[in-house]
Chains A and B, each alone.
Chain A
Amino acid sequence: MSQMEFYPPRPPRERPNPARRWAARLLPPLLLGLILAAFYAYGRAGLEEYRRFLMPDPGSIWDGAFASAAVRAELLRAAGVTAQIALTGLAISIPGGMLLGILMFRSFWIERAVSPYLVILQSIPVLAIIPLLQSLLGFGFLPKVLIVALFTFFAIPTTLLLGLKSLDKGIHELFRLEGASWHTTLLKAGIPSALPSLFAGIRISASLAVIGAIVSELFFVSGDGGLGQMLVNSKIDFLYEQMYAALIVSAAMSIGVYLFFGWLGEKLFSHWHDSAGGQR
């Protein structure tokens, strides 16, 4: 007879209780607090007295920037300018990218011709061509918008093309059986089916747009400035509290845009698409 062994029963694993789940939710802000505390300590202890202004503590950032109505108004205005640059850039890259994605889907030759340049566009550091843009276009609104468009373009045609190509084969055959035209199939099957994928691309592009807008301003300190210009100017003026405030607002904008699009995607697609965050 074979050797039998006793495998004891095991009680079902306990689900984490609400208190633990709350504690888990508090971890990220707690970590942030720790990092801030470390910075603060470094600013006090690690820097010589005369260089401490480089590392203002959270309290003086509050006092020197957010507590002042004038600085708050300036932050708001600068954020508005940055948002305008970002949105205008997206208004170029999203429709343009979608058009290119559709053309690449339509024609094998266009796809073949264009894809290497898309990859190149993605791989060359956009920063490196900024001087060129300056020489060509000057220091106005347009070159900044173009930089944002360059930053945000890549994700749009690639995600749309991926979505269009992954249309269910059966659905495609169904449309063929009805003799549906290419553009009917595109409008009624291709685009709707590709929307969640495209939306993931738009989400990435939108948060890149904020970064792109700020970066563009670092190079074009002229005219009505946004957050990027505020970063540069407050450094020049030794207003480090305001510089940190501009930095915080920039990060908040970028994160906010990302979260907003996540929420919007959930609203738009979760009733039929799994990756949008639905259950099942």
Chain B
Amino acid sequence: MSDGGPSAIESAAAAPIVSFQNVSLTFDTGVEALRDVSLNIGPGEFISILGPSGCGKSTMLRIAAGLIDYTDGRLLVDRSHIAFTFQDATLLPWRTVRANVELLLELRGVPKAERERIAREKIALVGLAGFEDQYPKHLSGGMRMRASLARALALEPTLFMFDEPFGALDEITRERLNDEVQMLQLRQKFAAMFVTHSVAEAVFMSSRVIVMSARPGRIVGVYDIPLSFPRDDAVRFSPAFAELCGTLSAALREASGERA
């Protein structure tokens, strides 16, 4: 296990999928949201971002995806293959599961037959086969999140952004979705940036965990998670897992400072 000291600059072995080079964001009020964030994410890497509220975790994702502009540094990324999942499922409530999964393809002008084929495949992949014609109102929170995942997967992303996607779900549902996202990632080989508040979730999902600190938001630690993939339920109860969680909790407490 690497002790992952506070070396902010990381290098990925292969050509990175996304590269933050001293990226900073300062608002016109003078408030620094991000300072000198440098991070390379390679193909197939799963990176979790932990940090106190207001440390700019979500801002990093939004900058990479192009929802927010940064004010200094360099960002290299291919935005044509980014998928983004939000805190809520953000399904269009007036569309069925199928029509929701087809939405982004529709916006990209993919022909109808092709859309239907892809939607069927992705809906089956997230375990929602049989629910294609249901409206979101009639689905559970977990099922809505699955539909949201299927919608994102329909883009065949090489980079998958998760902005605290399972925070609102109960523990059991969250763990099952963690298992499934991991399975999907191993199968579809996308790289992922995963923002979360849960240390256990970060350790379970990730190949690397970034710890950030607030005011200004910056990377204060990078930790490799050397547990082998695929990880099953038993991993959650292994001593190595507990030890990693302990290390990260300590790092997170330190990053949160007195305010924790």
Residues of A participating in the B interface, judged by any CB pair closer than 8 Å: 168, 170-171, 173-178, 180, 184, 188-189, 192-193, 195, 269, 271-274, 278, 280
Contact = CB atoms under 8 A, between A and B. Distances in A.
B135 A177 contact: no
Contacts of B137: 271-274, 278, 280
Contacts of A272: 93-94, 135-137
A174 B84 contact: yes
A177 B92 contact: no
Greatest chain B CB density within 10 A among A171, A174, A269 is at A174
A178 B93 contact: no
Chain A binding site: helix, strand, loop or mixed by DSSP? helix
Residue among B65, B94, B103, B108 with most chain A CB within 10 A: B94
Contacts of B87: 170
B212 to A, nearest CB: 21
B84 A271 contact: no
A85 B74 CA distance: 64
Interface residues of B, number: 21
B104 A192 contact: no
Contacts of A184: 107
A24 B65 CA distance: 58
Given A272-B136, A274-B137, A177 B82 contact: yes
Interface string B132-158: 000111100000000000000000000
A262 B82 CA distance: 43
A145 B22 CA distance: 65
Contacts of B67: 173, 176-177
24 contacts: A168-B88, A170-B88, A171-B90, A171-B92, A173-B90, A174-B84, A174-B104, A176-B67, A177-B65, A177-B67, A177-B82, A177-B84, A178-B107, A188-B92, A188-B106, A192-B92, A193-B93, A271-B135, A272-B93, A272-B135, A272-B136, A273-B93, A273-B94, A280-B138
Contacts of A189: 92
A182 B6 CA distance: 43
B94 A192 contact: yes
B66 interface: yes
Contacts of B94: 192-193, 195, 269, 272-273
Contact of A173 (B82, B86, B92, B136): B86
A273 B138 CA distance: 11
Nearest to A189: B92
Contact of A177 (B66, B88, B136): B66
A268 B191 CA distance: 41
